[in-house]
A and B are shown apart, each in its own frame.
Chain A
Amino acid sequence: AQSVAQPEDQVNVAEGNPLTVKCTYSVSGNPYLFWYVQYPNRGLQFLLKYITGDNLVKGSYGFEAEFNKSQTSFHLKKPSALVSESALFFCAVRDGRGYQKVTFGIGTKLQVIP
């Protein structure tokens, strides 16, 4: 069975400071990893993904994530946080084989403080 852990319910960061939202995963085959963001009363928006290739993945709006196979982690990062980026962030994983479902983490609320 595959799983995703987002160990922090909430991350607080001052505007302009770097942010990190943590994610670890467990999957039998090769992982496909995703980050999504959800703003209040909206659907999820795709930010970035790792399927293969470079471990550092760059995505939308200046977000990036680093795939670490030995630590089974896929932490989301941004060098400088904006107040408008306060939202709920979801990490997700699927097994790369066949028609496997995507499993989402419980979400981490990012609060950027002015």
Chain B
Amino acid sequence: DTAVSQTPKYLVTQMGNDKSIKCEQNLGHDTMYWYKQDSKKFLKIMFSYNNKELIINETVPNRFSPKSPDKAHLNLHINSLELGDSAVYFCASSQLREEAFFGQGTRLTVV
């Protein structure tokens, strides 16, 4: 059983399109995250939800909108995609303050 699963694994899309990435965890964790890893492998947090409540919202363009329908799911919707959005996006979950479990990543390529 995959602990943190995100779909799709690869996403190639044109500039200006809107796309979503889905994430689900079956670990019973109360906190979920979205991270962005750029081409230099630098990892930066974007958002964090605790029990469906947004608790961390880093400096991210408004085009990025997370949605947590329940504490096992955290989706990421991106409007008006730009070339600079190309990266690997990781979903993760944890018990609050504990170590995180990461999904396998979604490689987004904007052309």
Q: Contact residues of A with B, CB < 8 Å?
A: 32, 34, 36, 38, 41-46, 49, 88, 90, 94, 96, 99, 101-102, 104, 106-107
Say yes or no: A96-B97 contact (C-beta < 8 A), given A101-B58, A107-B41: yes
**9 nearest A-B pairs in the assembled complex, by CB-CB distance:** A43-B102, A46-B99, A104-B43, A44-B102, A99-B55, A43-B104, A101-B56, A107-B41, A101-B45
CB distance from B26 to the nearest CB of A (A): 15
Given pairs A43-B103, A43-B104, A104-B42, 6 additional interface contacts (CB within 8 A): A43-B102, A44-B92, A46-B99, A88-B41, A99-B56, A101-B48
Interface residues of A, dominant DSSP: strand
Q: Are A42 and B96 in contact (CB under 8 A)?
A: no
- Kindly list chain A residues whose C-beta atoms are within 8 Å of the C-beta of B64: none
Q: How far is the CA of A79 from the CA of B96 in the complex (A)?
A: 32
Q: Contact residues of B with A, CB < 8 Å?
A: 4, 40-45, 48, 50, 55-56, 58, 90, 92, 96-105
CB distance from A96 to the nearest CB of B (A): 7
CB distance from B107 to the nearest CB of A (A): 8
Q: Are A94 and B90 in contact (CB under 8 A)?
A: no
Select one of B43, B48, B56, B104 contacting A107, CB under 8 A: B43
Q: Are B97 and A46 in contact (CB under 8 A)?
A: no
- Kindly list chain A residues whose C-beta atoms are within 8 Å of the C-beta of B42: 104, 106-107
CB distance from A41 to the nearest CB of B (A): 8
Select one of A46, A96, A99 contacting B100, CB under 8 A: A46
- Kindly list chain B residues whose C-beta atoms are within 8 Å of the C-beta of A46: 99-101
- Kindly list chain A residues whose C-beta atoms are within 8 Å of the C-beta of B98: 49
CB distance from B90 to the nearest CB of A (A): 6
Q: How far is the CA of A105 from the CA of B25 in the complex (A)?
A: 25
CB distance from A46 to the nearest CB of B (A): 4
Closest to B55 in A: A99
Q: Are A32 and B97 in contact (CB under 8 A)?
A: yes
Q: How far is the CA of A38 from the CA of B100 in the complex (A)?
A: 13
- Kindly list chain B residues whose C-beta atoms are within 8 Å of the C-beta of A88: 41
